[in-house]
Structure 1
């Protein structure tokens, strides 16, 4: 009979493959470094194969078969965890741990409302929140380290099931004394001569900004003309306030009073410039019914008036 690794051994291997550092992997697994090292060594002996290349010094380097087994270990552990999740949700839906990933251009503006609402409606949920960029959240979702993502679409979400919740319009943020501040609505053609401040690479809002500004009659310059980037929407607003340029802001952030105390105002853009706030989860998750119910609940967080047309679930 082929010897089967234990779930704990799989966790050690997966975390080491992700962290590429014994100390950090051990901390993530809540064990000592010696315990994790011994677990990996025991797994190698059990499988009679070298998972790590120990001829490269202190670096953590996986052998080709080690890389393959780590990938298979992720899938196996996800399947094992799904067994327990299926049993739990069949007994009592919307209970137990719920690990939600959220992107930085949504988290600060929805989390203060989302957490109290979840605690009040579903007190048996043990909520964990993790904020990061879309690509990294999707990686953790695939590896089974997150259950549900709250993100902006369109996104490169291949392999995940997505459920759109509501449309989040973009507004143009300009200094209060800027000539465009006096307009009730701003055509894209009028921002062609403006310096556009954007978030740094990796933020989906940056890509969405570029797509909008490159529409017919809009901003036609390329990334190489850009002079200012920000790491967060809060920094971006401060840059606009200092007269360094203009920026697109989601209505979600503006309605959350991100402009309070600044010399920045936001004006609507002519046309339908927007993103869609939505959820994503693994297609074969046993908690699909839970996530669908949460989608209906999260829909109540929409800043858009309820009489406006909302995006329909895919």
Structure 2
């Protein structure tokens, strides 16, 4: 009996997710012609049509959807097999694929990566930056081993290891027309004076929750697609915002008149690691989490 290869299954899962040969090939770091050949070979091996190529956009057939689901399960089993083998090796050696969200990556990684590389010199780290929903999907699909995210966030079938709390601070110009930074009172804010990231960024939800922003009339209709854009909007005094404390010593505010001010209440998001439940590398991931926490605590105390 001819069996499909792991490569073919990975390619087809990518195609089923993107429904686009070009994007799927790019995600798999292979040419589109080689990618298409592998999909045809998979169809020949399985003796079934997986995709409909007659339309302008790729359409995965009904049986193709079912096979993609089983392929993901097979790939996860293969990942578990590799993890089991690696569990007999020295911890934090070899390849580790980590997903991290963009509201953490530029502030945490520059502080953590240098000592991490020095401490674990045989560790090969591959980083993927994306929003929480997508890094979680990649984790569950076996494309990532571990993710660094902000909590709380609804996650299924994962174990979570808390790293540290990241307080929210008021971000505005000192001469802002929207509030008195040193005597900030939420109820005194004008309608639509709060600027936030667009939907899809968990930082928006965390700010709304942690800072008790129940009066949505005070939240602007205009949103930002990135922290950089958000800071520029605040710098133009289009409104005020709430930024995590980890941005304080970064270059994000360089060249702007935006300053950070403490908030009256203890408002924070929690930074944590997450991995697939039942992973054979759990002890290794916990060790990594403890190392990251110790580094961050050392940096924060300076």
C-alpha contact 2:210 2:269 (8 A) present in aligned 1: no
Could you state the TM-score of these two structures normalised by the residue count of structure 1? 0.87
Instruction: Please say if 1:229 is aligned against 2:223.
Output: yes
C-alpha contact 1:188 1:219 (8 A) present in aligned 2: no
**Partner residue of 1:296 out of 273, 282, 290:** 290
**Distance in 1 between residues matched to 2:158 and 2:187, nearest whole Å:** 36
**Distance in 2 between residues matched to 1:170 and 1:83, nearest whole Å:** 41
C-alpha contact 1:53 1:63 (8 A) present in aligned 2: yes
Describe how 1:120-135 pairs up with structure 2 within 5 A: 120-135=118-133
Moved over 4 A (4+): 179-182, 303-307
**Distance in 1 between residues matched to 2:188 and 2:260, nearest whole Å:** 15
Query: How far does the alpha carbon of each residue in 1:217-257 deviate from its partner, in whole angstroms, 9 at most, with x for none?
Result: x551248x623311222221221121110000100112335
Could you state the TM-score of these two structures normalised by the residue count of structure 2? 0.90
**Partner residue of 2:163 out of 162, 165, 175:** 165
**Distance in 1 between residues matched to 2:10 and 2:108, nearest whole Å:** 32
**Partner residue of 1:275 out of 266, 269, 275:** 269
Query: Quick one: structure 1 residues 222 and 157, their matched pair in 2 at CA, closer, same or farther if it must change by over 3 Å?
Result: farther
Query: Quick one: structure 1 residues 304 and 277, their matched pair in 2 at CA, closer, same or farther if it must change by over 3 Å?
Result: farther
Structure 2 residue aligned with 1:94: 92
C-alpha contact 2:146 2:275 (8 A) present in aligned 1: yes
Query: How far does the alpha carbon of each residue in 1:147-201 deviate from its partner, in whole angstroms, 9 at most, with x for none?
Result: 1111110112122211111111101112111374551x63443446560010111
Give how far 1:282 is off: 0.7
C-alpha contact 1:96 1:124 (8 A) present in aligned 2: yes
How many residues get paired?
Answer: 300
C-alpha contact 2:191 2:220 (8 A) present in aligned 1: no
Greater fraction of residues in strand:
2
**Partner residue of 2:80 out of 79, 82, 85:** 82
**Distance in 1 between residues matched to 2:127 and 2:169, nearest whole Å:** 28
Describe how 1:1-314 pairs up with structure 2 within 5 A: 3-54=2-53, 56-178=54-176, 180-181=179-180, 183=182, 186-191=184-189, 195-213=193-211, 215=212, 220-222=215-217, 226-256=220-250, 258-302=252-296
C-alpha contact 2:166 2:246 (8 A) present in aligned 1: yes
- SS of alignment partner, residue 41 of structure 1: helix
Unaligned regions of 5+ residues in structure 1, if any?
308-314
C-alpha contact 2:98 2:127 (8 A) present in aligned 1: yes
Query: Quick one: structure 1 residues 137 and 59, their matched pair in 2 at CA, closer, same or farther if it must change by over 3 Å?
Result: same
- SS of alignment partner, residue 91 of structure 1: coil
Unaligned regions of 5+ residues in structure 2, if any?
none
**Distance in 2 between residues matched to 1:295 and 1:26, nearest whole Å:** 33
